[in-house]
Structure formats: C-alpha cells, structure tokens
Amino acid sequence: MNITPRYLRFRTMCPYVSMCLCGKKKSLRLSLLSAFIVFSFYARSATVDTVSIYSKAMNKEFKCVVIKPDQYKSFALPVVYLLHGYDGWYSNWIIRVPELKNYADRYQLMIVCPDGGTSSWYFDSPVDPTMKYETYIGKEVPEYIDSHYLTIKDRKGRVITGLSMGGHGGLFLGIRHADFFGACGSMSGGMDLYSSRNRYDIVKRIGDTINYADNWKKYSVIDLVEHMTKDTAAMIIDCGTGDQFYKDNRALHEKMLRLKIPHEYTERPGKHDWNYWRNSIQYHLLFFSNYFQKNKAVNSEEPSNTYPFIVEQNSKIFKPGETFEIKASVGEFSRMPQTKILIGGSIIPLNEEGYAIYKAQVGSLGKHTIQVTIKFINPKTGKEESVSYNVQYTVAKEK
C-alpha cells in the first residue's frame, strides 16, 4: 500500500528548497541568508492537504482539499466549506483560485473543498438512492474535518458557500441545517430549479416535473426560503448581471425582502465564469471573517478547542495485512516531561518533533476502534488533564 501521510507532504520539499528554485546547479550559489528567507516564507504560509473522506451513506471514498493557514495548530480555527459547480470536482477551486491560500492566511481560517459529484446538486436524491450528497457534505465531511483537524466545533465556527450548482448547495444546506452552519452563501447560484428543468441532470436527481412536482418546490432554494426557521443562518448572495442565473437571483432577493429575511445581496457586472467567481470569493470570505469575529465560539469545556491536539490516521479503509498508522501530538505541550500519549492502552514514546507514532498490521475484517488518550499538565491550572479520541477504521477485502 502506498502510504503518504498528510503530515509528511510539506516536509518532503523543505530540504530541497535551494535546488527547487530553478533545478540547476547554479541554484546552490544562493547565500545561506537567502535560502533561510525562502525557507521561512514557505514554512509560514498556508498548506494544502488532499485527503480521502469515506461516505458511509454512499459506501465510497471521495477526495477533498483542505487549506490550512500558517497559524494552524496554534489555536482552533473556523471552517469555510466551499462547494464547486456542475461538472466540477474537489480541486476546482484551488486550481482556479490558488490565492485561496493567501486568503486562509489573511483571515486565519480553514477552507475545505469537498467533492460534490458531477451533478449531485448536493441533494439526498429522492429518486436515486445512490446519491446521498446532502448527508455527505452536510454531515460526514464536517465530522471528518472536526475529528482530524483543530477546528471550532460549533455552528458559529462553520459556514458554507459555493458557485453555480454549489451556490444553490450552499444555501440549500445552510438553510436546511441552520443548526449546524452559522452562515451560508451563494455565488451565481441556480436558485430556481424549475427554470433549469431541462438541463444539468436535475430531473435525474429529483424526478420529472409531472410525477414528482412536489420535489421541485421542496428542493429549490427559491421555495425553501418560505419555510426558514427563526434560527436562520447569516446569508450572502451575489450574481453577475450578465449571468444566466441573474434573473433567478434577483427574484430570490426580492422574495426574501418581502419575507423580511435578513441577507446581504450584491449584483455587479460579470458572467457565469471564473473571472467573476475569482473576484466574488473575496467578498464571501470577508463576510464570513466578519461573522466569525462577531461570533467567537470556543467551547472552554473541551480541551481540544483550547490546546492544539492533533490526531491523524493514514486511512480509514484497509485490506488485511496492510499497515494502520496513527500520529498524535499536543503541540508545544508534547515537549513537557509530564505529557503522555497512550494509543491502544500503551504509552507511545514521543519523537524529537513531539509526535507519538503508532503502527500496526491490520487483521480481521470489520470495523475497529483504537482509543488515543493524551495526558498533559494544564499550564493555567497546574493540574493534569486528559482528552481521549476514538480512532475508527475498517478492514475489508476490497477498498
């Protein structure tokens, strides 16, 4: 099995910085000072992980991009879930808008770009039981992110937005799961599904307009806003005046005004393209950053939201005989002599970087759980505290 743990990806480039600048021997002429400056720049900038997240609802794994800011591991961070459009995929955003790394650093937040399928519309399809993307994006992906990264585990620390199909998905999931996402948004979203009834595989997801007429109201954002609860998410919506969905967005805005639903709406020159979205995402991230600043949410009763606990595993699905690996740390507190990390009931020695690394060959088929317990001295109280995690994995004949 090819195991490339997420935490090693960035480190592999560091020893070769001076040679990577041009690929020729003359690059070695860099002064030590210059090499240090270059190294420091990369070491402190945002990093990008590509992880595989298993969906129990759909019984398969999907890839996902996770952008971490330079201060990751220093404190718990809010998360922006950023959705792609029709015919898109998980890496659409980071390929088209690499500046997302700069924005993550600027606002000190994580950006997660999951895979929403070619034309899922982010629904749990009422006519196709194999399509469970509302469950996957609205529940399973955040569960993975919260268990593998240092995040604010509260609705006030989670927001969701996207473009086109993902714009509809951002509002659809944000409205239906307002108890989970504190804010939501849409860029050039297809707000009225009926106006696109003969396109974008919508019929395949919710049925035809005659036999399944009710679905076209139940799943369309322009109708969904009529049933919003009082605990609504903060909302930002925008669309270009030259966009194919402009009229639908304007109609949604006017309807929300009539219903007195608070929201921020902007229309500006632009088409349904990446030039528009590359500009629009900056306004969304500023809106969400202001939201996070206004609604600081850290659960003081949960140590993992206060201290930089890191628990990572190399995969969640294995074949018999493959190697299962866990890496655990408590950041700077790992260097304290009183810190102990137990994995599977045994104390695991910490390496020079303050990580406990556990490896084991998997055996019997089925689902398994290994407990990770981190014990440390709270520097504020001087008392010993501990936190435990249940790391789960599955052994199957076929992945």
Q: Does 148 fall in a domain?
A: yes
Q: Does 18 fall in a domain?
A: yes
Q: Does 32 fall in a domain?
A: yes
The predicted pLDDT at position 248 comes to 94
CATH number at residue 261: 3.40.50.1820
Query: Which residues in the chain come in under a pLDDT of 70?
Result: 1-44, 74, 230-231, 297-309, 331-336, 378-382, 399
pTM of the full structure: 0.65
* 191 and 219, same domain (yes or no): yes
* 169 and 118, same domain (yes or no): yes
* 38 and 67, same domain (yes or no): no
Beta bridge partners of 359: 325
* 274 and 358, same domain (yes or no): no
The predicted pLDDT at position 104 comes to 92
Domain boundary at 294, 318, 350, which? 294
The predicted pLDDT at position 376 comes to 75
Q: DSSP letter string over 26-76? A: GGGGS-HHHHHHHHHHHHTS-EEEEEEEEETTTTEEEEEEEEE-TTTTTS-
Q: Does 1 fall in a domain?
A: no
Q: Does 313 fall in a domain?
A: yes
Domain boundary at 240, 267, 294, which? 294
The predicted pLDDT at position 65 comes to 94
* 58 and 168, same domain (yes or no): yes
The predicted pLDDT at position 15 comes to 29
Residue 369 parent element (H or E): strand 366-377
Range of the domain at 350: 307-395
What pLDDT, in 10s, does the model give residues 158-188?
999 999 999 999 999 999 999 899 999 999 9
The predicted pLDDT at position 195 comes to 75
The predicted pLDDT at position 43 comes to 39
Residue matched to tokens 């089925």? 366
* 113 and 201, same domain (yes or no): yes
* 38 and 54, same domain (yes or no): no
Domain boundary at 260, 294, 328, which? 294
CA neighbor of 326 nearest in space, from 292, 287, 356? 356
* 262 and 137, same domain (yes or no): yes
* 178 and 89, same domain (yes or no): yes
In this structure, the number of other CB atoms found within 10 A of the CB of residue 292 comes to 24
Domain tally, the chain = 3
CATH number at residue 319: 2.60.40.10
